[in-house]
Structure 1
Amino acid sequence: MLKMFIIGPAFPLRGGPAQFNENLCAELVKAGHDAQIISYSLQYPNFLFPGSSQFEKSGQAPAGIKIHTLINTVNPLNWIKVARFIRKEKPDFILFRYWLPFFGPCLGTIGKLVRSKTKVLALTDNIIPHEKRTGDKAFTNYFVRNCDGFIAMSKTVLNDISKFSSTTNKAYSPHPMYETYGAAVSKQEARKKLGLVEQDKIVLFFGLIRHYKGLDVLMEAMADARIKNNNIKLLIAGEFYEDKQPYLDIIEKNGLKNHIILHDKFIANEDVRFYFCASDLVAQTYRNATNSGVTMVGYYYSKPMLVTNVGGLAEIVPDNKCGYVVPLEVERISDKILDYFENNREAEFTAHVVSEKKKYEWQEFINTLLNLYNKC
């Protein structure tokens, strides 16, 4: 049995990273290890957070795992206190969750202070951020040099690590499926729950809305006359993390009011399954990406997907089997959406998804993580 701390967001903080960390901790405990989470008392200062809230407004703390809410990301004295707590607990290793250079000074310092007593690993969602800011490179450099090994969930990120470190202590393992949003329900039940028309053909865009996710391109693709004439609708489910008006302008300009269903809010955990189960096709028309939890929720609910040929998305959605891999071009996106519905691809693609998703079970990720620990 090994003892480890996962260091990253967890309940009551909301969002994909928190859900992932709780899943990972639960799976490690199930495998017989002493796994716990050290989360944030302050993750982002409010002026750096574009959403409505950083916290879950519904649900309960996950059962069977221990969460320590300790880290203040902007208080260096707190970082020293957290490092003392870790040294006292004597874990075999800690696993930092790293996706933004903002965390570099905090996590890098904690790593530096505990490294003589425990191995320091990092699960790197991103090494190079989607949206660049002053200080990114310096912060990430500081973080990386205070880690012993790295695990990445896309080959793009694995390669990016080499821009900051020559270490061979790195490993790739695909993003496992989220399993915390509840069992699938029928399409009919899901649409009734969300107030959607049972007969509509629905493409789902799910998640927080930022420029790099290319929702504007997908909306322009929905303006194609062929799509409008086939009664295909786009369901947008997520909170805007930037100005909403440009998206409303696209709707107005292209006469899309009756073709786009806008649920612009943070989707509570207990409602996630209804959005995926209500959809026919999940679309991720990202401008850039490394990996995506949305793809793994799609796999869990056996949904075919349309993704753009960027970063890690194309690595995990086999083209013309589990969906489509397309360039970020409006007409090509329109063509594939139309092909999906006109040629009744749902049953064929869904069968491939059901087969393919076996690769993304948690045990594979845990094996890779523990092998990395043994190598460091």
Structure 2
Amino acid sequence: MTDEASKRRLRICLVGPAYPYRGGISHYNTVLAQKLSCSHDVYSINFKRLYPDFLFPGRTQYDESGEALSVPSERLIDSVNPISWVRAGFHIASLGCDVVIFQWWHPFFAPAYFKISAILRVFSKAKIIFLCHNVIPHEHSLIDRVFLSLAFTLPHGFLVQSREDEENLRRLRKGAVVSFHPHPIYDFFNRGEVTQSEARERIGAGRDEIILLFFGYIRPYKGLKVLLRAMPRIREKIDARLFVVGEFYEDRAPYVELIDELGIGNYVELVDRYVPNEEVEPFFVASDLVVLPYLSATQSGIVQVAMAFDKPVVVTDVGGLPDVVADGKTGFVVPAGDDTALADAVTRFFEEGWGERMARCFPEEKTRFLWEHLISDLERLIERIR
């Protein structure tokens, strides 16, 4: 905690998804609430409807984990009901908070956030911060730009998690007060409950196999097809098996067709589902190398899950990924969309014995991504805008 902020215990309201909603933003918001509560009074305002069902590409929006990550929250906001925005705005104003922090990740929520922020600007003395996961969505349209311009007019400050997002934000909002801090580590999945041999038995992998892991939901920008095209070249040199673990948010058929066309069906396992919290650990413990061949990105929570398990990652040179993965220390960075470079990085990792060298780098590298550092940066940002 900064010296100035430590003089006063702040009343902070977090606005964003939390349990019972699933996914990275919900997890992030929950852990942030837990960490902030150590030194401040925290209120969590949740959604009572996040997405209308017809807009959500997955099977369910809700966390069905046996061991859900949760904090107490009030479910007030319906993303498509303006009346709920007004009610939520006045309720938040009545809390008498010093700061209201909105989780920002998609312009779909711009009208709701704008209305709530407008009410706070008039009926509250609270400062407004947008904590940005993606300033601009991976797949965006002209209307998204309009919504972005609308929503970003009212916050007093912004916290971004990649330099690319900082540049995008400064173009959208001239003179904005912006703080940068990389995505913190997701260590809550790492419970130390399984050995690698036990983890491999659980996921159906051989004890002596080389296991590559692609983790997270599948959309075009994730670049999974690049990894699939790299697999034949990888297997020319190493006997690797790829686990693709995550729900398809698009048509699965083209991926299956590509796997058949490349003749790699015996070496690729598709685990097409959202993985509950208690099942995340075995997949990461069982793997030797995590491969995230994104075609576009700002930052990635999956990288920070891998970091928590001391698992090296091959990523692409997009967004903030090169800022988080230290090339030659915690992984390799390759050009986006280049299946040959991706294959060569994977084979190099195993042929040159990089696993042991990288393992020695994780203890120091992980200190860059502690939640306590994020909290300190948030507190400094609050002091700047007060």
TM bracket, shorter-chain basis = over 0.9
Residue number in structure 1 paired with 2:61: 54
Find the counterpart in structure 2 of residue 313 from structure 1. Answer: 321
2:306 is matched with 298
Separation of aligned partners in 2, 1:3 and 1:189: 45
Name which of 347, 359, 363 aligns with 2:372. 363
Unmatched segments (≥5 aa) in structure 1: none
Partner of 1:252: 260
Q: Kindly provide the amino acid, as one letter, of the partner of residue 108 in structure 1.
A: F
Point out the more displaced range, 329-338 or 54-63. 54-63
Q: Using the TM superposition, give the Cα deviation of residue 59 of structure 1 relative to its aligned residue in structure 2, in angstroms.
A: 3.0
Alignment match of 2:156 (pick from 145, 148, 152): 148
CA distance in 2, matches of 1:114, 1:45: 26
* Mapped pair 1:272 → 2:280: yes
Question: How much does 1:322 deviate?
Answer: 1.1
For 2:32, the equivalent position in structure 1 comes to 24
Q: Is the 8 A contact 1:125 1:153 kept in 2?
A: yes
Aligned counterpart, 1:342: 351
Does residue 22 of structure 2 align to residue 14 of structure 1? yes
* Compared CA separation, residues 60 and 343, structure 1 to 2 (3 A): closer
Matched, 1:101 2:110: no
* Percent identical: 35
Unaligned runs of 5+ in 2: 1-8
CA–CA separation in structure 2 for the residues paired with 1:192 and 1:209 = 25
Q: Is residue 74 of structure 1 aligned with residue 67 of structure 2?
A: no
The answer as to 2:130 corresponding to 1:122 is yes
**Correspondence for 2:222:** 213
SS at match of 2:265: coil
Question: How far 1:179 sits from its partner (Å)?
Answer: 2.6
SS in 2 for 1:104: helix
Match of 2:52 in 1: 45
Distance (Å, rounded) in 1 between the aligned partners of 2:283 and 2:208: 15
Give distance in 2, aligned partners of 1:142 and 1:12.
29
The one-letter amino acid paired with 2:87 is K
Query: Counterparts of 1:206-245 in structure 2 under 5 Å?
Result: 206-224=215-233, 226-228=234-236, 230-245=238-253
Measured on the aligned residues, the alpha-carbon RMSD in Å equals 1.3
- How many angstroms apart in 2 are the aligned matches of 1:286 and 1:61? 28
Task: Give the aligned residue type for 2:29.
Answer: N
- Measured after TM superposition, the shift of residue 5 of structure 1 is 1.1
Listed one character per residue, the Cα deviations across residues 163-187 of structure 1 (whole Å, up to 9, x for unaligned) are 2112341100111111322413321
For normalisation by structure 2, the TM-score amounts to: 0.94
Residues 128-165 of structure 1: per-residue CA shift (max 9 Å, x gap)? 11001341011111110011100001111011111211
1:195 equivalenced with 2:204 (yes/no): yes
State the Cα distance separating 1:62 from its structure 2 match.
4.2
Superposition misfits of 4+ residues, deviation over 6 angstroms? none
- Total equivalences in the alignment: 373
Question: What is the aligned partner in structure 1 of residue 40 from structure 2?
Answer: 33
Determine if contact 2:36/2:375 at 8 Å carries over to the other structure.
yes
